[in-house]
Amino acid sequence: MNRTTLSLIAAGGALAVVTGVAALTAPDGGAADGPAKAAEQRPVDRSSLLCPAPSSSDLADTSYTSFTPKSSGAGGKGAAELVGAPRASEDDGKSGKGDGKSGKGDGKSGKSGKGDEKAKGRSGEGKPLLAAKSVGKPVTEEVSGADAPALVGSADGALAPGWTVQQTTTISAGSGRGAHGLACGAPDTDFWFPGASTAKERSDYVHLTNPDDTAAVVDIELFGPRGALDSEVGEDIKVPPHSTVPVLLSTLTDEPQTNVTAHVTASGGRVGAAVQSADDKLGGDWLPASADPAGSVVLPGIPKDATSVRLVAFAPGEADADLKLSLAGPNGSITPAGNETLHVKSGMTAAVDLGDVTKGEAGSLLLTPTEDSVPVVAALRVTRGKGARQETAFIPATAPVGDRATAADNRAKGSTLSLVAPDKDAKVRITASAGSEGGAAATKTYTVKGGTTLAVEPPLPSGLKGSYALTVESVSGTVHAARTLELPEDGVPMFTIQTLPDDRGTITVPRAEQDLSVLQK
């Protein structure tokens, strides 16, 4: 009797045992006794987030805020931790290219990047930089200077569903002066960044962070107004395990362009990716990835006092896109005069300056197809202030709030929540969490009329001490949201804007039942 025959007999015996167990534990009746049960939503039991290195400036002050909202059905104690990810040295990438003006590792002085090895919370050494053990209350940590590392985080048990981390950095002087805020993102393999730049006055770095035990391989493509920009050094960029690599976009091409779309793809492994933009005169901020390409996109939360708004859009497919522009304000939607439509050629970045489009009233930009629906990605660059006291922030196209979304870092003053219902009326429930140092949660419900933007000062926790988190829950309808955080300093209207897509705190789990009839087929 050969090995194959013996293996088949063993497999048949094992199957018989499994069949017996299934027969003993099967529920009364069978799958044929009634319709199949619908899938259910269950809280996730593990989440991963990645935060890029906040700044290479010695004048940077960064606040990290970790928060998990309460979720029904989330069991176990759990924990959420963030540990440092060292910056990769010049030999870890492809010829050391793309990670600084000099091709070196720390993006500051051209050194190998080993100087941050002593930074608090370095990966695999000592205590985490930030750790949380309970839900419903933010946990914060502050770091100053240029040595703050990128962070790799994970949460499990009750702290996993909806886990949100915000890093907020203020830089008092120099290129990129201003507030740089970012909701730390989940690892992925594909990112679109319309609104980036390779212009001389801009220093735009895409930060690549690898959370895994194996190296990731990343390609970066750049698209300008005439199509793809010539570049070979953007291919096969290696990101070592548990490390971060910042790539200066202007080093990838010899063609300076004011408006470009960067496409980041991981051909091996996965990474977190975000673009940090610094302008010599207009400040700077983080540019998060746009939502996945879609025929209609929503860009929520343009501040009422915006002095300049620039729209950048890109059509990644083979067809051109023709888009209708609508500004959803507090009383309805209007078409910006002179910018009723936008033609976006396939594979080319289109940009249009909308000026002070909000005219003193907060609003959101809606892009819809004029005829055929063609997927696009888009982002806004928003400027506040005038002259030497200007500051900028970015609003990428974003997915709806869905079941729930959270903005982790809010202060007693300076937080504005913008809610837009693109189509029909929507109702949302807003919960302000307990403060990081004390206070009790507060909840309020708002109705947003279809085609309008509702900008509100969110409810404050009673007895607030420290910072707090805002959680937005959909009660009815579809709503998109963004949070503006104002941190003025020395007459400069420093601010940052974060969109609030669904926190993906639940997962769809199909209901399964034993069906022994498959063994007879």
Residue ranges covered by each domain of the chain: 292-495
How far is the C-alpha of 21 from the C-alpha of 518, rounded, in Å?
15
In DSSP notation, 192-236 reads EEEEE---TTEEEEEEEE--SSS-EEEEEEEEETTEEPP-STTSS
Q: What is the pLDDT at residue 110?
A: 33
CA distances to 255, 296, 379, 394, 498 from 398, rounded to whole Å, are 29, 11, 9, 12, 10
Q: What is the pLDDT at residue 40?
A: 74
Residue 284 reports pLDDT greater than 90: yes
Report percent pLDDT > 70 for the chain.
Answer: 83
Report percent pLDDT > 90 for the chain.
Answer: 77
Could you give the angle at the alpha carbon of 416 between the alpha carbons of 463 and 176, nearest 5°? 110
Question: DSSP assignment, residue 390?
Answer: -
Higher pLDDT, 448 or 516: 448
Over residues 390-428, the pLDDT tens digits come to 999 999 999 999 999 999 999 999 999 999 999 999 999
Over residues 480-516, the pLDDT tens digits come to 999 999 999 999 999 999 999 999 888 877 766 666 6
How far is the C-alpha of 181 from the C-alpha of 131, rounded, in Å?
20
Question: DSSP assignment, residue 263?
Answer: E
Whether the CB-CB separation of 239 and 245 falls below 8 Å is answered with yes
How far is the C-alpha of 180 from the C-alpha of 166, rounded, in Å?
11
Whether the CB-CB separation of 380 and 302 falls below 8 Å is answered with yes
Q: Count of H helices and E strands in the chain?
A: 1, 38
Domain 292-495: give its CATH code: 2.60.290.11
Residue 39 reports pLDDT greater than 80: no
- Segment 47-62 shows an average pLDDT of 96
User: Which tokens go with 380?
Assistant: 């806004």
How far is the C-alpha of 177 from the C-alpha of 278, rounded, in Å?
8
CA distances to 222, 228, 401, 458 from 347, rounded to whole Å, are 10, 7, 29, 40
How far is the C-alpha of 448 from the C-alpha of 462, rounded, in Å?
25
3-state secondary structure (DSSP) of residue 33: helix
> What is the helix (H) or strand (E) element at residue 5, kind and residue range?
helix 3-25
What number of other Cβ atoms are within 10 A of residue 299's Cβ?
29
> What is the helix (H) or strand (E) element at residue 139, kind and residue range?
strand 139-144
CA distances to 218, 278, 313, 458, 486 from 188, rounded to whole Å, are 11, 25, 22, 32, 30
Predicted confidence band of residue 77 (pLDDT cuts 50, 70, 90):
confident
Question: DSSP assignment, residue 7?
Answer: H
Residue reference for tokens 């679109």: 192
How far is the C-alpha of 454 from the C-alpha of 209, rounded, in Å?
36
How far is the C-alpha of 376 from the C-alpha of 317, rounded, in Å?
8
Over residues 148-167, the pLDDT tens digits come to 999 999 999 999 999 999 99
Q: What is the pLDDT at residue 278?
A: 96
Whether the CB-CB separation of 45 and 156 falls below 8 Å is answered with yes
How far is the C-alpha of 475 from the C-alpha of 488, rounded, in Å?
34
- Sheet with 404-410, strands from edge to edge, namely 404-410, 468-476, 426-432, 442-448
Predicted confidence band of residue 10 (pLDDT cuts 50, 70, 90):
very low
Whether the CB-CB separation of 483 and 410 falls below 8 Å is answered with yes
Predicted confidence band of residue 517 (pLDDT cuts 50, 70, 90):
low
User: Which tokens go with 191?
Assistant: 């990112």
CA dihedral 70, 73, 76, 77 (to 10 degrees): 0
Over residues 163-205, the pLDDT tens digits come to 999 999 999 999 899 999 999 999 999 999 999 999 999 999 9
How far is the C-alpha of 330 from the C-alpha of 326, rounded, in Å?
13
Question: DSSP assignment, residue 86?
Answer: P
Higher pLDDT, 70 or 121: 70
Q: What is the pLDDT at residue 231?
A: 84
Q: Which amino acid is at 301?
A: G
What number of other Cβ atoms are within 10 A of residue 375's Cβ?
17
Over residues 315-372, the pLDDT tens digits come to 999 999 999 999 999 999 999 999 999 999 999 999 999 999 999 999 999 999 999 9
> Which residues does 16 contact at the CB level (< 8 Å), separation at least 6?
none
Residue 64 reports pLDDT greater than 70: yes
Higher pLDDT, 68 or 73: 68
Please give the mean pLDDT across all residues of the chain: 87
Q: What is the pLDDT at residue 46?
A: 93
